[in-house]
Chain A
Amino acid sequence: MPDNSALAIRLRDIVKSFGPVQANRGAELEVAHGEIHALVGENGAGKSTLMRVLAGMYSPDSGTMEVDGRDVTGWSTADAIAAGVGMVHQHFMLVPTLTVAENVMLGSELTRGPVLDRAAAEEAVRKLSAETGLAVPPAARVADLTVGQAQRVEILKTLYRGAKILILDEPTAVLSPPEVRELWQVCRSIRDAGGTIVLITHKLDEVIDVSETITVMRAGKTVARMATAGTTPQAIARAMVGRDVALALDAEYMGTPLLPELGAVSALLEVRDLVVHGANGQPVVKSATFSIAPGEILGIAGVEGNGQTELVEAIAGLRPYTGSIALASRDLATLNVRARGDAGLSHIPEDRHERALILDYTVAENLILGQQHRFTRGAALDTPRMLDHARELITRYDIRPDNPSLAARALSGGNQQKIVVAREMARDFKVLLAAQPTRGVDVGAIEFIHARLREARDQGKAVLLVSADLAEVLALADRVAVMYGGRIVALLPRSGATPDTLGPYMTGAERAA
C-alpha cells in the first residue's frame, strides 16, 4: 500500500514546448490516492501532453513531478511503468495479429523455458479479467475484436504490468453508450481496489458521471480544480472556455417550419444500394439506401467504425463503390472529387488533421482547398483574390487570429474547424456532408458550427450529419438513421428518436429499417 499521507500525483509548474508551440506552460495537477480524477479542457489545452509527461514519454522543460511523494521529475516510461503508472492511449498500441493474451504479455512474457507459456498467459489474463470486470476472450486475435474490447485489452495490459495509477486518454470516443457504462463500472472497481485513475476528456457528462475531482486546463495552464459533487456542467464549461456558452446538451431540437414531406419534393441526395468495400476486401457499407430532401438534416448516429466514414467518403468520391449516388437527380458515378464539388457537394470531413486541412498551408490557402482551380489567373494562383476571399471568411466566421497568412497548424482546434466549415459553406453547394463536425472542438465553437448547419438547412440545402455524439444528432437532425455493421438499421423521424429508442440499434441488439 502506498504512503497515503502523500498525494498519488503532484505535478507543479510543468512547462513543455515543441519547437515554437508551448503545450504546457505552468500546468499543475494534484491527484489523491484512490480517486477518479477528471482532467478536462478543450482540444489543445495540453491535457495529453501533461499526461505524457507524467507517463515518462516526454521530459518537461521545467517544473517538478512527484508520484507517491517521491520526486520523479523527467523519468522514463520504464521508470513510470516500474512505479505503477500506466497510460491507455487514444490510439491503441496493440499488435493486431497476436491474441489478447499475447498482447497483454508483450514485454513481460510468461515463459516455460524458452517457450512462451500460452496456457499460463491466458489463465493470467482470465484471472485479471474476472477481478476487474474487463471481459475479453483471452485467446481471440486482437484484429477480430471490437474497438471496445480492444480498449479493454489496453487497460488489462496496463494493469498486468502492475499499474496503480491509470491514465485514460479520451477513452469513450470510440465506445457506444452501453460500453461507456461498462467502462465506468470497471473504473469504479479499480478505484475500490485501491487504484487511482486520471481520466482525460472533454465531455462534461462523463465528468459529472464518474469523477470525484476535476482539474480544468486551458491554453497549457491549470485554471481550476473543483470537487465534482459541488459543480455543474456550466461551471466546468465556463472554466474550460473562459466565458459562458450554450451547451450542445441543452440545445433543444428546433424543427424547420417547412419540413417537406418526403417524396413531395425531389430529394437533393439520393443513395441507393450503396456498397463500399474496406481495405481487406470485406464490405464495410452493405447496401445503404436513403435520401435527403431540400431543407432537411439527416443525422446518422451510431458507434464509430460501423461504416459511417466509408459511407461519407464514397459519396464524396474518395472511395470506389457500387450502387448509385445522385445529387439533384444527377448520377455521380463518373464524377471525381473535384467534379462532385463543382456539381454542388460540400464536405466537412471527420479527420481534420489528415483530410480537411493542410496544416502547413496558410489559412488563406486552406480556404481554397478543393476550389484551387477557381482561383487562378492563367497557370498561376490569383493571390490577391485568395486573400480577399480569406479576409472575408475570417471576418464572417470569426476565425482567430485573423491573419490569413498564418499556417493552419498555428490555430486552435476550434478555429481550424471553423476554416473547414467556412470553406465548405462558402462554396456554392446543394448538399453538405458533415462528418463529426464538432469533434475535438471547444464548446464555444460547437455552438457556432451548429448554428451554421441549421442555417444551411434553412436555406434549403440537404445536410447529411454523421456524429458519434448522440446528443448532437438529436439536437440537429430532422430524421435520424442508425448505422450498425455497415447497414442502416433504423431510420426514424426525429419525434420517435430518443437515446432509449436508439440505444438498442446502436449496439446491434435490434434492427428495423
Chain B
Amino acid sequence: MTGPQGTPLLSIEGLSLWYGAVQALWHIDLRIDEGECVAVIGANGAGKSSLVNAIAGVGRPRSGRIRLAGLDIESLQPSRVSALGIAIVPERRRLFPSLSIEENILVGAQVGRPGPWTLKKIYDLFPELVPIRSLGGHLVSGGQQQMAAIARALMANPRLLLCDEISLGLAPIIVARFYSMFPALRASGISILVVEQETRRALGACDRFYCLLDGKVSLSGRPLEVTEDAVNQSYFGIG
C-alpha cells in the first residue's frame, strides 16, 4: 500500500553518517509505505541508533536524503520533524525523572499536532497507568515506564511511530502486549518502524524488515521469504 501518488511515507536514500572520522552508516536505502510495519534489526553497534537519530533530526546526515511523504526532512530541526508526524519511543524509555507519569505523557502533546489521542484514550489503552499517574517517572516498573513512553509518543498524534528497542529489559509477557497493540495502531492510520536487537518478535510483527550489519543493510525483505540461517548470517556477519 502506498500514499496517494505512490509516494512512500518515509523514504531514505543513500544515507551515510559520520561521527568524526568514524562512519556509522553506509548508503542506507529504506522505505516505509503508509500503514506498513517495518523492522530494522541488527546487533549492538550495527548503526540502529544512528539511523533513529538521523530520522529524528538529531545527528545530522552528511549525505543522502530522508523524505517524509515526499518532503525533504534531513535538514530540519527535531521539533519540525515531530511536528510533521514522526514520534519516537526512545531506547531505554528516557522518561523525565522529575516529571510525574502523567506529565511525561503530556510532554508528547506539546508537538501540537491535531489528532485522536487524548489522556482519556491513553488511559483506556493502558489502564494500569491510572493509579500511578502522579508518581515520578523513575519510581515505577520498567514495563510501566515503557507504557508511559509509548503513550508520550502517541500523544503527538504521529503518522510514523518509531519504536527503539521497546523490548529491552522487559518481561516477555509485557513485550507481547506492546506488539499485540500494533494492528490496532496501524488500523488507526499509524505506520510503525520497529528497531530491535531481538529479531524473532520484530520479524513476526512486521511486514518487511531490514537487517543492519556494520552500518550497512545486509539483508532486507519479507520475514516469510527468508530463512532463519540467512537472517542469522546477515545479523552476525558469520556462517
Q: Do A and B bind each other?
A: no
B interface, CB within 8 angstroms of A: none
